[in-house]
Chains A and B, each alone.
Chain A
Amino acid sequence: DTAVSQTPKYLVTQMGNDKSIKCEQNLGHDTMYWYKQDSKKFLKIMFSYNNKELIINETVPNRFSPKSPDKAHLNLHINSLELGDSAVYFCASSPLTGKGETQYFGPGTRLLVL
């Protein structure tokens, strides 16, 4: 009965490769997010989708492309991976947006680019 799940949990890959991270939530929430947490533990929002529509795109390189096939899923595809992409990526969801609702986070995907 996992609320927000991400796959894979760990991802080790070579520079230049393309990879995808998947996220699913079974909370019935309308809004989903992708965050990047760097080595200094600082969480930075990357994207937000509300009912499959992109509502936030925070100056993320266009190598990163989110896709939301339905409101329960938000996947993240990364092209031409770079060393600086190594981080932990968290998916989250919330009931609404714009009101500072509690966000429910997934367990994270630890990406290491070699």
Chain B
Amino acid sequence: KNQVEQSPQSLIILEGKNCTLQCNYTVSPFSNLRWYKQDTGRGPVSLTIMTFSENTKSNGRYTATLDADTKQSSLHITASQLSDSASYICVVSAFSNDYKLSFGAGTTVTVRA
């Protein structure tokens, strides 16, 4: 079972509307959580990074929240634009001597005019 689960798998929204993506994880001990945006045909690009002590972080119209107690994160997109159409990937890092990143399968967002 994947240690990072994202929902929904995909969603379609109208331009100008808001949406929220969910990420639940079981990675432990927790180090940080990142949201990446992957445009079609491109590599992922980091949007936000959150550590244990941070509850919310914004990057323009993107706002990420983190509840380390329930091991849940969300990414909220405000006033969506056509350019927001992409896959959004949640990546969780564990505290360890060895490298360990756990990737979610991503949520595909389609914004329609």
- Chain B: residues with Cβ within 8 Å of the partner, total of 24
Q: Are A42 and B103 in contact (CB under 8 A)?
A: yes
Q: Are A56 and B99 in contact (CB under 8 A)?
A: yes
Contacts A41-B108, A43-B103, A55-B99 given: A103-B93 contact, CB under 8 Å? Answer: no
Q: Are A102 and B46 in contact (CB under 8 A)?
A: yes
B87 within 8 A of A: yes
Residue of B nearest to A91 (CB): B43
Tally of contacts, chain A with chain B, CB under 8 A: 53
Residue of B nearest to A6 (CB): B43
Contacts A100-B32, A105-B44, A105-B45 given: A42-B106 contact, CB under 8 Å? Answer: yes
Tell me the minimal C-beta distance from B64 to chain A in angstroms: 14
Name A48's contact: one of B87, B96, B99, B106 (CB within 8 Å): B99
Interface centre among B38, B101, B108 (most CB of A within 10 A): B101
Residues of B with C-beta under 8 A to A105: 43-45
A22 vs B44: C-alpha distance when bound (angstroms): 18
Contacts A40-B105, A42-B106, A102-B49 given: A107-B43 contact, CB under 8 Å? Answer: yes
Name A100's contact: one of B97, B101, B106 (CB within 8 Å): B101
Chain A residues packing against B (C-beta within 8 Å): 4, 40-45, 48, 55-56, 90, 92, 97-100, 102-108
